[in-house]
Structures are given as C-alpha cells and as structure tokens.
Amino acid sequence: MAVRREEARTTVDRYPGRVRVNHWVTAISLILLTISGAALFHPSLFFLSSFFGGGSNTRWLHPWLGVVLLASFTILFIQMVRYNFWAKVDTQWMRQIGDVMSGREENLPEIGKYNGAQKLVFWSMTLLIIVLFVSGIVIWYEHFGASFTIEQQRLGHIVHALAAIAMLLVVIVHIYAGFYVRGTMSAMTEGKVTGGWAYRHHRLWLRGEAREGVIDERQTPPRGHNARPAE
C-alpha cells in the first residue's frame, strides 16, 4: 500500500528498503572517501589516515572506496532517475525559492516526488561522481600509472581535487536540507513520511500515490473535524 493509516496519522511510503540500504551505502562511502581523501590531500590532514591504519592502507583503500561509491550510486541512479527529469514546474519552483526559505510553501506550484533543488543535487552528484572516478583512474598509479603521462596525471590531480571540493559542498547542501525540512529524515530511516508532510512539500506526488494506494479507515478511530494533518 502506498498510502495508509497508522495509529492516529496517515503515512505515505516514500522509499522501499532496497533504496534506503543503497542510499546509506552511498552515504557511508562518501564519508569514508572524504576522510581518506583529506588525509592524502595535505600533510596537515595526514593524521586522518590513522582511521584506516596508516598512510599505506589509506592510499590502497581510497580508490577502492571510489569503486564502491560508483557502483552504489549507479544503482541509486537507476532507481531514481525517472523522477529527476526537469519539468516546467521545477523552473517555477526555483524562481520562488524565497517562498521556500521563508516557509510560504502554499504559494508554490504543486511538484512531484522531487523539487527543483533536489533534482539539481541529483544531477550535480551524478556529474561529479563521473568526473571523480575518471580523474581517479588517471591518478591510480598502482594499476594505471603506466597508462598516462606525467602531465595527464598532474591535471588529473587538479581536476580530482576540485571535483572533490565541489562534491563536499553539494553533500553539505543535501544534508542541510534533510535536517532543515522537518520530517524528511524519516523518509530514509523508516521509508515513509506523514501525509501532512507529503501534502505540504510534494503534493503532486501525493496525489499519484493516493490513486495507487489504499487508506484503511478500520486501522484507526475516526478523526475529529478540526484535526489537522501531521507534519
């Protein structure tokens, strides 16, 4: 069921277990890559290599973590790409970003499963992961050192570092939005959101889920006329 009553509230299924597991594999990979990459980036941060058992372990593990990230995000991309194509409503939503930040979401157009900002994060991460992986191959000396010139490897280091910084900024925005919009975290921890949250933030998506789902009124006593949807 996509939409159902649970105790005294209506909930909407947002992410199945397989998507949540893959999301957290991607997230953990990004965290480990950030720490290990920082340790290799500058001598002042080399102490971070102690989390991985020293510098040699860090240098060996970092590129393989990149492979895990690419694999997990590829699956995530396949699972989510159909919801992230840009639409005219996303352009209008972005133009009204001031209403979003001030909490006047009643002024916004109805949107689907993801808003314009979420779609920008999705495509930014897609592009940056590709750039990070390709540049990472260029500077993976153990396996590909003989395949590229010194000049190409130097350029690879610069591109890899710039892409990593950009990725870190995108991830910070993604995490901030997850905490800023109350009720969002439960989507990736429990797999569901409240009906009130879905109605407020993704009304067009909720309408589609309601058409496919079932609300079983027997699961909860009737709600009062003055009751408001939970956030």
List active site positions: 174
Closest by Cα among 204, 3, 223, 225 to 105: 204
118: Cβ contacts below 8 Å, ≥ 6 apart: 84, 177
In a 10 Å sphere around its CB, with 0-12 CB exposed, 13-18 middle and 19+ buried, how is residue 22 labelled? buried
Distance CA 113, CA 104 (A): 19
Pull the structure tokens for residue 127.
Answer: 């592009």
Write the DSSP symbol of residue 28: H
Distance CA 49, CA 55 (A): 5
Placement of tokens 């909407």 in the chain:
12
186: Cβ contacts below 8 Å, ≥ 6 apart: 192, 193
- Number of other residues whose CB lies within 10 A of the CB of residue 59: 16
In angstroms and rounded to an integer, the radius of gyration of the C-alpha atoms of the chain is 21
